[in-house]
Every structure is written in structure tokens, then in C-alpha cells.
Amino acid sequence: MVSHSLCHTLPSFAASSLNRCNLPANILGSCTYQHYPVPLILDFVHDLHKDFFRHLTTIDTAQERAAYFQYYMRSAFLLGQSEQAGFSAKNRGSKRDKSDYIRLLRGWMFDADSIEAAVIKRWVESRFGLLTLNHKGMITRVSDQSYQIYLKDYVRGLYNSNALESQLDLLYCYCQYELKTQYSHLHLTLYRGISNINHFYQIPAGEKFAGALLLNNMNSFSDNQYQAEIFGDKVICCQVPTSKILYFPKLIAGSLNGEDEYLVLGGMYLCQSVK
């Protein structure tokens, strides 16, 4: 059992007082939540897409559900139907009509400081109230150059696009449905490689733990320790609540084959050092 003295809350500088889910950021971003998670419910998503979720319950296999999810996304957001979605020939040169949830995921997996990654980080801020702490550099205040770059990147990413944040809403809720269907437990053991742990806000370690780390509001993890070692000279192991996972490998059949990353919401995490 983890000592309650180590169950630290989310620091105020990492949390917004506003979000769009059933728990405030200082709760869902705490170590207490890490160990005693409850479902995170995004406002109105299930109500808006109730027919989609009702139909999911009638499909037996994960592969068929993934195919239906992709079909529904194309239909609900008119993906690949530029003119019906309101794009004209005049603005097609910007290629923003090509942006969708798949491109956001690919952009993140290629570069966690990309424009697509900035859109995902902004979505986390809006929906969960976990503030972005790093984007092309640490962000400690709004006057930081890295914060100004982050603002420009996510505005560029959202400009003239097709409801990208709403697409991420449905991706998250579908991911949660699949996690509950495929796993009976509330946590997954995941690993993350870190290059410079001194860049992280830390709480002093206990006997068994590397301590509590404050992670950025969105992070990449792996279920393979040796794969995580590629991305840093130190590897941490965390018990990650399934409720804080936006994407896991093979969630979307065929679209992201070979990508073995888990996209995990941030906050405070108690973790073990395994390397």
C-alpha cells in the first residue's frame, strides 16, 4: 500500500479552475486519483453521440468496433468531404481540411512538440484543466517564449479545421469504452523514458519509489520497458489509470499500425525508477 503522505495534490500552477469533465483538475491530476481512479466523463459527449455508443454494444469484436468508429467519425465530421464540411476551393491551399484525429495522433507520435501536439495539449487543457508545462521548452509563465510558441502552434493547428477538439472528445470516449471492454482492471503498468529528470517538478522519494513526478499534460508511454529506454537515460514505471489514456496501440485498426505508444494524461504520478 502506498503511504498517504506521498499522495500529493496537483500544484496550483499546473491546474486550471475550468474544465469540461466531472472532476476538477486538482483532483484528477493528483496522486490520490492515480491510485483510486474513477471514470472521467466529458460534458455532453455521450448525449451528442448516444446512437454511436448504443450501437457499439451490439458489436462483438474490437476489430469491427474500430471499423465502425472510423466510419462514424467520417460521417459525423464529414471527414474527406471538404465541400460538405464548409471548405471552399479558395482555402484548399492551406490543406487544413485534411486535418483530423488521425493526423493529430501521427503528428504527436512523430514529434511531441509539433503543431498537432500543441492541438492535443490545448484539448487537454480545455477538457481536463491540466495545463501545458512543456512545448519546445519548459513553460513556467505566460511571458515565456515557449508559451508564446505554444499559443501560435495550437492556433495554427485549429485554424480553418473541422472540429478537431470534438473529434478528440469522441476518440477519448471510444478509447475508454474499449479499455473497459478489453481490461477488467483499472490500471496498466507503463514505462516512460526520461532524458533529464531534473527538468521535472519532483516530490522527495519514498523507500520504494523514485518519488512523485509532475508530468506534462499529455505524455507518451510504452508497455515495454526496453522500448522506453530508447527515449531516455532514465526509465520510470507508473501504474497508469486507464481513465487517463487517450490512445493505446491497435485502438484504431489499420490507421496507425506499428505505433506502440500510449497517450496518457499528465498530472502527479508516483513512479518507480527501473533504470
Task: Find out whether 211 and 188 touch, Cβ atoms under 8 Å.
Answer: no
- In this prediction, residues 23-28 reach a mean pLDDT of 98
- In this prediction, residues 38-48 reach a mean pLDDT of 98
Nearest C-alpha neighbor of 194 from the set 175, 163, 166, 220: 220
Distance (Å, whole) CA 146 – CA 169: 26
Distance (Å, whole) CA 121 – CA 136: 12
Q: Where are the domains of the chain?
A: 4-41+185-273, 45-180
Q: Which position has the higher pLDDT, 207 or 80?
A: 80
> Residue 83: phi, psi to the nearest 5?
-65, -40
Task: Find out whether 119 and 177 touch, Cβ atoms under 8 Å.
Answer: no
Distance (Å, whole) CA 216 – CA 206: 22
Copy the grid coordinates of residue 77.
465530421
AA identity, residue 214? L
Rg (CA), the chain: 19
Predicted confidence (pLDDT) per residue in 95-126, tens digit = 555 689 999 999 999 999 999 999 999 999 99
Sign (positive or negative) of CA dihedral 127, 131, 133, 136: positive
Copy the grid coordinates of residue 198.
531534473
> Residue 9: phi, psi to the nearest 5?
-85, 165
- In this prediction, residues 20-33 reach a mean pLDDT of 97
Q: Judge whether residue 267 has pLDDT over 70.
A: yes
- In this prediction, residues 164-192 reach a mean pLDDT of 98
DSSP lists the bridge partners of residue 192 as 236
User: pLDDT class for 134, splitting at 50, 70, 90?
Assistant: very high
Predicted confidence (pLDDT) per residue in 196-233, tens digit = 776 777 765 554 445 899 999 999 999 999 999 998 88
Distance (Å, whole) CA 237 – CA 190: 6
Residue 131 gets which letter from DSSP?
Answer: P
Q: What is the mean pLDDT of the chain?
A: 89
Instruction: Report pLDDT for 210.
Output: 59
Sequential DSSP letters for 233-271: SEEEEEEEEGGGEEE-TTSSTTTSTT--PEEEEEEEEEE
User: pLDDT class for 261, splitting at 50, 70, 90?
Assistant: very high
Copy the grid coordinates of residue 124.
487537454
Distance (Å, whole) CA 268 – CA 239: 12
Nearest C-alpha neighbor of 150 from the set 138, 162, 167: 138
AA identity, residue 67? A
Instruction: Report pLDDT for 196.
Output: 77
